[in-house]
Amino acid sequence: MAEPDIDDLSRRMDGAIEVLRKEFAGLRTGRASPSLLEPVTVEAYGTQMPINQVATIAAPEPRLLTVQVWDKSMVHSAEKAIRDAGLGLNPMSEGQLIRVPIPELNEERRQELSRIAAKYTEQAKVAVRNVRRDGMDRLKRMEKEGELSQDDHHMWSAEIQKITDAHVEKVEGMLTQKQQDIMQV
């Protein structure tokens, strides 16, 4: 009898959680974090590049990020990319160093960030459920082709559901933690 690849399904669900972790890193809480600028792309050498490939990002103070641009000709592009990224940041350049003060979050902005975090969480849940559906479809196909008995089908279905529930619970726990971070003054 053939067995479904449960490890593959679990790995793919873990991938959805990793994507969520990266999206959450880009949501700012009230503290400066170099990961805040990860989604920013800079027009460099005729192409779009992640900012961390043209500069070093650091957080020397809780409310300040510094971006040390390696190529002097990229300073203006990096500054413009940070300003236009929709993060509500206003960078100031001093030679090859760009200072990015992190403004205090007001209550309205905190609510908005919390809603964005919830949206990211929902996307992660959908991704986990899509992996589950793929696994269930594979089980049905295996049963139809005679590779799996009905009893085995039910056993593996329960196993896939258990893994799915654990991943969804982990995603919701991450949302709770992120919302606490966002709402913390």
- Do 110 and 20 lie in one domain? The reply is yes
75 and 96 Cβ atoms separated by less than 8 Å: yes
pTM: 0.68
Residues 85-130 have pLDDT tens digits of: 777 788 888 888 888 888 777 788 788 888 888 999 999 999 999 9
Task: State whether 58 and 91 are in the same domain.
Answer: yes
- Specify the pLDDT at position 185: 61
159 lies in some domain: yes
Question: Which of 101, 134, 153 is the C-terminal boundary of a domain?
Answer: 101
69: Cβ–Cβ under 8 A, 6 or more apart, which residues? 54, 55, 75, 78, 96, 97, 98
User: Based on the domain organization, do 48 and 75 belong to the same domain?
Assistant: yes
Model confidence over 30-76: pLDDT tens digits?
A: 677 787 787 788 888 888 888 888 888 888 887 888 989 888 888 88
Residue 38 shares a structural domain with residue 96:
yes
* Same-domain pairing of 80 and 138: no
pLDDT at 166 over 90: yes
pLDDT value for 88: 74
> Residues 3-18: pLDDT tens digits?
778 889 999 999 999 9
Query: End of a domain among 80, 101, 122?
Result: 101
**pLDDT class for 162, splitting at 50, 70, 90?**
very high
177/112 same-domain check: yes
Same domain, 49 and 77: yes
150-159, 160-169, 174-183: range with lowest mean pLDDT: 174-183
Label residue 23 by pLDDT band (50, 70, 90): confident
Q: The domain spanning residue 52 has which CATH number?
A: 3.30.1360.40
Q: List residues bridging with 94 in a β-sheet.
A: 97
pLDDT tens digits along 29-41:
667 778 778 778 8
Please give the full DSSP string across the chain, using - where no structure is assigned.
-----HHHHHHHHHHHHHHHHHHHHHS--SS--GGGGTT-EEEETTEEEEGGGTEEEEEEETTEEEEEESSGGGHHHHHHHHHTTSS----EEETTEEEEE-PPPPHHHHHHHHHHHHHHHHHHHHHHHHHHHHHHHHHHHHHHTTSS-HHHHHHHHHHHHHHHHHHHHHHHHHHHHHHHHHH--
> Which amino acid, residue 63?
R
The domain in which residue 35 lies consists of 31-101
Q: What value does the CA radius of gyration of the chain take, rounded to a whole number of Å?
A: 22
Closest by alpha carbon to 157, among 1, 9, 11, 16? 9
Q: Is residue 1 part of a domain?
A: no
Total domain count, the chain: 2
Boundary (domain end) residue, out of 75, 101, 127: 101
**Angle, in degrees to the nearest 10, between helices 150-183 and 107-144:** 170
Enter the tokens of residue 177: 């933690």
